[in-house]
Structure 1
Amino acid sequence: MALIGMVYVIARWEEKALVNAASKRGVGIKPIHTQNLHVFYGEKNGMPPVVIQRSISHYYALTTSLVLESLGVRVVNSAKATAAANDKVWSISVMVRKGIPVPQTAVAWSMEAALRAAHELKYPIVVKPTNGSWGRMVALADDEEDLRAILEHREYMPQPEMKVHLIQEYVRKPGRDIRVTVVGDRAVAAIYRYSSHWITNTARGGKAVAAPIEGDIGELAVKAAKAHGLEVAGVDLFEHPERGLIVNEVNPVPEFKNTVKVTGVDVAGEIIEYLITIAKR
C-alpha cells in the first residue's frame, strides 16, 4: 500500500513534482483524482495513512478532507485549517486574535455600510471577496463612484457571500510583494513578486525573484501559517511603508513552480520529506 496519498483536481506542475519527489525517495504515492473518487463513510478501502490535499477547488478540498479525516486519515492540510485559510474573514480574524499584523480591514454587510467604511479608511481602497485566489474578484476603488459600481455589481450576484464586503486599505508596496513557502514549522523558500500592476501575483504576470527567508520574513510567515493550523502554506507578505511587514493572505494549497525556478529549492522534496516523517510516526 502506498505510504502517501495526494488528492487533486488537476495535475499541475506542482502535483507532478510531488509524485517525482516521492519516487526519488522510493516512497509510494497514490494519486487520488477527485472526479474519480467515491467514499463510503466508515470504509477506508486502502486509503493511505497520510494524504496531501492539493485540490484547487476550495469546496472539493474541504469536503474530501472532512470525509478522509472521518476515516482516520491524516490530511495535510486539515479540513479546519483549509477552511480558515480560504475564508478571508475567518483568516483575518484568526490573525488579528494572534497579534499578526494585517492590512487595515473593515467588514460590511451592506452597500451603505461599505461606503461608510471606505470613507473612514480613505481612498483608494481595495474590495475583496470572502474567498478566492489568484487575485480574482479583487478590485481597486479610487473614489466613491468606483466603489458604488463595484458594490452594485456584487449586490446583484446571487451568492450570499458576495454581499459580505471586505474593505481594505490600499497598501502602497514598493512594486512587489513576498511569497513565502512554509513546510512544517519552517520557511523553506521565498520570492519577491514584482509587477507594474497593483496586484503583484505571478499568476497575473508578476516576475519572481529570490528573496531571503531569514529573520522577520520567515518568522512572520511561519507564525501566520501556524495561526491557521497549516502545515504546508504559501504566505503572502506586504512591505507596508509605515508598519513594516504585514500578512496579506495565506494559501493552503500553494503553487511553487516559480519559487523552485528562481530559488532552486526543492519544495516538493521538502513537502514529501515532511509527509514521510508524519507517516512513520
Structure 2
Amino acid sequence: MNQRIPVFTDDPGWHGKRLKEAFAARGYEAVFVSLKECAFNLAANGLPPVLIPGFERELPKGVFVRGVPGGTLQRVIARLDILHALKLLGVVVYNDGYAVERTVDKAMTSFLLHLNHVPTPQTWVCESRYQAQEIYLRETMAGRPVVLKPLFGSQGQGIRKLTHETPFPIPMEQYVDGLYYLQSYIDSGEGAWHDHRVFVIKGRAVAAMIRHGSHWVNNVAQGGRCEAIEAQGELAQLAEAAARAVNVDYCGVDVIREGDGKLYVLEVNSIPAWKGLQGATGIDIGQLLVDDFLSCMHTQPALTVVS
C-alpha cells in the first residue's frame, strides 16, 4: 500500500488535486486533513501525543501544510501548536508553524526583511490612531501616498491607497480593526500597473511571472493577467533573499519594480497559490514541491522522544 501523507487543508480544490497527483506519481497517497480535527492527547494510553485523523496509532514521517484555518486567537494558536508539536516529535512539517507565523503576520515579515537588508517599502505598524494619522498626514501632504493593509490577509483583499484627499479610516472599519499597517506606495507605472510573483523552493527561485493589472492591485484573484518570465537575475536573487530572511521551505514572493527600476519585496506568502503561475509558465510546481518535501522526509532523522 502507498505510504500516506497528511496534507493539512480545509479546501483542497485545484491545489489539492495537483498535490495528490504529484504524491501519487512518487508512490504516496495524499490524505486531506483539517487542523481543526487534530488534537493533543497527553494521556498515558500508548497513543501519540498529537492525534491526526487517520493516523491515531502512529504519526506520519511528514505533513504538508497547505492551509491553517482562521478563527479565534485561541483556536489559531492551538492549530499552530499542533504544527510546533509535530516538529518537536521529529515529523517533517512543510512549511512549519514558525514559518507560517512569520509570514501570515505582515508586520513580522516586514521587520525580518528590514532586519536582513532586503529592500521593502517603508512600513509603519501601530495601534494608536493618533500615531497612524500623524504618519498618514506627514506622508500624503508631502505627495507620498501610503497603502493601508490588513495585518492578516491575502489576495489583495482590504488593501487601499490613501492620499491627502482620502478620508482616514476609523479604527473599527472593516479590515482595520484597531490596528494600522501602513506602507509607502510603490508606483510601478500609472496605467501600466504590474508586479512580480516569484516562487522559491528550498532557497531557489524556480518560477516567476509578471502580473499586469487594470488597477494598482495586481493579484490574480483581483483580475491580474499573468505573463511568464525567467526566474533569474536580480529578481530571483531578491526573492531568494526574502525567503532566507523569513526562513521558509517554500514561498511565493511578491516583488514590485518602481519607476526608477528599483525592486522592492512587498510580501512573502508561506501558503502560496500557484495556479496562475503554473498556467503561465507550464512548470509543474506541485511536483517540485512534493519532490522537495520527500527529500526532506528521507534525509531528516527521526527524533527520539524520551517518555
Deviation at 1:39, TM superposition (A): 4.3
Which protein has the larger Cα radius of gyration, Structure 1 or Structure 2? 2
Deviation at 1:165, TM superposition (A): 0.8
Partner residue of 1:49 out of 49, 61, 72:
61
1:131 partner letter: F
| C-alpha separation in 2, matches of 1:65 and 1:173 | 38
The structure with higher relative contact order (CA 8 Å, sep 6+) is 1
Greater helix share, structure number = 1
| C-alpha separation in 1, matches of 2:230 and 2:136 | 35
SS of residue paired to 1:280: helix
Asked if structure 2 preserves the Cα contact closer than 8 Å seen for 1:6 and 1:53, the reply is: yes
1:241 partner letter: G
Match of residue 304 from structure 2: none
Aligned identity (percent) is 27
Match of residue 146 from structure 2: 125
| Structural RMSD (CA) | 2.2
Deviation at 1:100, TM superposition (A): 0.3
Asked if structure 2 preserves the Cα contact closer than 8 Å seen for 1:30 and 1:48, the reply is: no
TM-score (norm 1): 0.90
Match of residue 294 from structure 2: 276
2:151 partner letter: T
Change (3 A) 1:131 1:204: same
Deviation at 1:249, TM superposition (A): 0.3
Q: Which runs of 5+ in 1 are unaligned?
A: none
Asked if structure 2 preserves the Cα contact closer than 8 Å seen for 1:108 and 1:117, the reply is: no
Match of residue 188 from structure 1: 206
Change (3 A) 1:43 1:231: closer
Partner residue of 2:172 out of 145, 156, 160:
156
Please give the per-residue CA displacement for 1:126-178, whole angstroms capped at 9, x wherever unaligned.
111211111122111122x5242x2x1xx12599x832212211111131110
Match of residue 166 from structure 1: 181
| C-alpha separation in 2, matches of 1:126 and 1:115 | 13
2:8 partner letter: V
SS of residue paired to 1:181: strand
Q: Which runs of 5+ in 2 are unaligned?
A: 43-48, 71-75, 300-307
SS of residue paired to 1:168: strand
| C-alpha separation in 2, matches of 1:3 and 1:11 | 16
TM-score (norm 2): 0.83
